[in-house]
Structure 1
């Protein structure tokens, strides 16, 4: 049946949705029939797009009309493959792309393994053809924020599932039996989006950064955040690639002083985001910025104060699962260059609070189990910042009542201290292990730079000198 040849008269949007449901109730015995039904569904949506699909909520509703159907449950891989190969990769019309990208985006949001399957279908010779196509299309979408925002969001979701897979954050959402089967199939599929690096140029990055700055006065911030999230994915790929310069860092250096909105909104997103992947990607870019000498003073001092507050809160409040441990470790990894390299070196902020929390990680209460990598990170921050920058002795406060103790710092210096129950904020959960996706210079082995003859923290009780407060 040619649905384009049929005249439809809908009294309201509900009757439109009823007709959509009837399209999905057709019985399909072959993959070709499934593909035909999917094409009918997409063409039907394109035909009535201006009448019934004008808002983001309506776009989501027509997508979930398909995703929640028995038809999708029974034929999900065929459906997704057909949308990618016959619509998303081949279509260049904005109306058709709006529908195809919408269906793929919400399928991936429903379960990351469906997006992994989309990436595998779009990847040819280790090059993600769909993401490269989206990058090339962004210029032409600039005047249409709905289409551009959708393309940006889809690009980020494709990068996001690759991040989850690489970090193994433990996010395994089982929606139904068929979705579980897809997950099992993907165990043997090598997913990679490293092929996008060839499509990312300085000009493309400048275009996206200009878009961010152009939205500074917008009351609706979602478009701005969509751009930033895609840029974060780009940075991740540059960090993971070998023998390639980080073009995003180069772009920020070249635009020093003219990308303030990007920096401000990135910290704002970190402060408010509940998406662990977004947080980790932001922290990685912050690390790149704080370790690039030309960008040491990229942020305004007030923004750095906000960032310190966020770090202190997250280090204390994150949970004790694997994802939380990875995040806490990442927060600690950027704290050192933040305190040592930026304006905070000369304008300290919350010195006492930072010192107390770091000490509580090194010498926690009896009931807390802090990972050794976190202790090493905290010890290094104390040595490089508290001892060298603040010119204070390193003498962590133990969370037990022991008097006349001698604390040995990682530099071999001995300091005496009264040891008493700490009043510092105590994290509610174990601290994190290291994140494998940081560069090698961030690994725990590189952090443990104390000599083998001197333990990072040793405690000696007998014959101690008179106690002093640290």
Structure 2
């Protein structure tokens, strides 16, 4: 972006003072607004490497515009102009400032992400994230991933949007995860993982809303190349263990559900990692309170994942059964809330009871004297293949069309913390705080996940 304006600054304070002058000038026409935005972008990108070296600096720069009258008095116009810039601009420093603005504006105002989708920004972001010219700009690439994730998780994408996602893009993301992270604050490539999770959810939603077939490329990649991308599975378990936000837990559970439903991916995880995953699922189910509607919905989702995990993964093999007695006790507790909570609130809801019975019917858990319940039907199998978005001719006959539809529909607003039975702060016995427990639990899981595969070494800077 070329402007016939030059600046000579002696120190950082002069930079911020000049930026303040640019965004606070009175603008009474679109032409003046356009000039002010061009000046803002030219000035900030010109000094990005000198005065905007940290993410905090970029955030401060972004909020200078977000809190200024230039934006406050002309929100929709400014947003639209910057969305158009995103669609057309190729200069990395300029894209960095534009992406930061749209990201933080959209986090606070859904209208920004909705405008982006309407104007065709999703395919553009896919293009930019794959661009070799931008991959080397770590800070920009990370922001582009965050922007794609945030705009995709608050609204359904169109069929045309998802067609822009090809196999090469998905495999590119998996390959990034296999590499050591350049960010010491994010050793697990969580922005990349979140994009894959939200894409999987979008495929699930599309499969229930559209008659046009569309392959779930995330599941396809793991089905055909899963042995090359084991780090993704390890990090997924770590993320589920530490994540308190309901919406992200749901994204993880939706992917796990599809993985365990198909024979081509049901044994994707290492057996030791499966044990850790089962421990995390059991712990999270026990931690959900009995008298909360959000907790009940989350409990249903965990139980829908638990059944194919128990029935279709390596745990189901003879001699590989893991914590059979503990799982049976958990299922018994979930159908007797009086025992689980110590206080009887209400009868267990029908869906929880049905899902628990389904888990109890898994062959290696079932008491031989108990009757076998709810066998699968061809209709259920067809519904599952539709949800996967791909031809799975030998898909195991487990689950139900109702479970799949409800899995796809289960959502929560970003930022909502998952309900918890545990108290915030120190527990009644004067033991650890929730934060201390979380840190200790995460340390335990990190030590266990990826045993023999190098994930712990990778976290600490070693090779795989």
TM-score normalised over the length of structure 2: 0.72
2:433 corresponds in structure 1 to none
CA distance in structure 2 between the partners assigned to 1:341 and 1:301 by the alignment: 12
- In structure 2, the partner of 1:390 is 365
Q: How does 1:22-421 map to 2 (within 5 A)?
A: 22-85=21-84, 87-109=85-107, 111=108, 114-124=109-119, 129-137=120-128, 138-140=130-132, 141-162=134-155, 192-215=157-180, 219-221=184-186, 224-242=189-207, 243-318=213-288, 322-346=293-317, 347-365=320-338, 366-368=344-346, 370-383=348-361, 385=362, 388-392=363-367, 411=373
Aligned counterparts of 1:310 and 1:104: Cα–Cα separation in 2 = 36
**Greater Cα shift, 249-258 or 87-96:** 249-258
Secondary structure of the residue aligned to 2:329 is helix
Secondary structure of the equivalent of 2:228? coil
Q: CA deviation at 1:442?
A: 4.7
- Given that residues 149 and 223 in structure 1 are in contact (C-alpha distance below 8 angstroms), is that contact kept between their aligned partners in structure 2? no
Deviation readout 1:248-289 (Å, 9 max, x if unpaired): 212112213211111111111111122322221111111111
Q: Distance in 1 between matches of 2:190 and 2:404?
A: 35
Larger relative contact order, structure 1 or 2 (CA cutoff 8 Å, min sep 6): 2
Once the two structures are overlaid, the 10-residue window that deviates more, 369-378 or 58-67, is 369-378
Contact in 1 for aligned 2:45/2:97 (Cα 8 Å): yes
Deviations 1:291-350 (A, max 9, x none): 110112110112111211221222222356554443322111100000111111132223
**Cα gap change, 1:255/1:104 in structure 2, threshold over 3 Å: closer, same or farther?**
same
Distance 1:70 1:223 in 2: 39
> Within 1, Cα distance between the matches of 2:188 and 2:336?
44
- Shift in Å, 1:67: 2.2
Larger deviation, residues 348-357 vs 305-314: 348-357
- Structure 2, gaps ≥5 residues long: 208-212, 339-343, 375-386, 389-398, 407-464
Post-superposition offset of 1:97: 0.7
Distance, in Å, in 2 between the alignment partners of 1:20 and 1:445 is 51
User: What does the per-residue CA deviation read over 1:34-54, in whole Å, with 9 as the maximum and x for residues that have no partner?
Assistant: 343233222221111111112
Residue 223 of structure 1 deviates from its aligned partner by 7.0
Q: Is the 1:4–1:44 contact (alpha carbons within 8 Å) kept by the matching residues of 2?
A: no
The alpha-carbon distance between structure 1 residues 67 and 370, as it changes in their structure 2 partners (threshold 3 A), is farther
Tell me the alpha carbon deviations over residues 437-460 of structure 1, each in whole angstroms, 9 at most, x when there is no partner: x8894525999xxxxxxxxxxxxx
Asked if structure 2 preserves the Cα contact closer than 8 Å seen for 1:291 and 1:341, the reply is yes
Shift in CA distance, 352/255, structure 1 to aligned 2, threshold 3 Å? same
Identify the residue that residue 7 of structure 1 maps to in structure 2. Answer: 7
Return the alpha-carbon distance in structure 1 between the equivalents of residues 45 and 364 of structure 2: 62
Deviations 1:78-134 (A, max 9, x none): 22111102x11110111111110011111223x2xx24433334425xxxx212112
CA-to-aligned-CA distance 1:334-381 (integer Å, 9 cap, x gap): 000001111111322232332222222223212255432122111211
Partner Cα separation in structure 1 for residue 161 and residue 131 of structure 2: 16
* Aligned residue pairs, count: 368
8 Å contact kept, 1:382–1:394: no
The CA distance in 2 between the partners of 1:9 and 1:294, in whole Å, is: 60
Q: Contact (CA 8 Å) 1:373, 1:444: kept in 2 or not?
A: no
Mind listing any 5+ residue stretches in structure 1 that lack a counterpart?
A: 163-190, 396-408, 413-437, 448-470
Cα 1:443–1:411 shift into 2, 3 Å: closer
Secondary structure of 2:226's aligned partner: coil
Query: Quick check: 1:238–1:244 contact (8 Å CA) kept in 2?
Result: yes
Counterpart CA distance in 2 for 1:318 and 1:267 is 19
TM-score w.r.t. length of structure 1: 0.71
Q: Give the 3 Å change call, closer, same or farther, for CA 157–223 of structure 1 in structure 2.
A: farther
Shift in alpha-carbon separation, 1:6–1:192, aligned structure 2, 3 A = same
Root-mean-square deviation over aligned CA pairs? 2.9
Instruction: For 1:212 and 1:445, locate their aligned partners in 2 and report how far apart those are by CA, in whole Å.
Output: 28
Task: Assess if the C-alpha contact under 8 Å between 1:362 and 1:379 holds in 2.
Answer: no
1:420-435 correspondence to structure 2 within 5 Å: none
What do residues 395-445 of structure 1 show as CA deviations (whole Å, max 9, x unaligned)?
Answer: 8xxxxxxxxxxxxx7859xxxxxxxxxxxxxxxxxxxxxxxxx88945259
Partner of residue 19, structure 1: 18
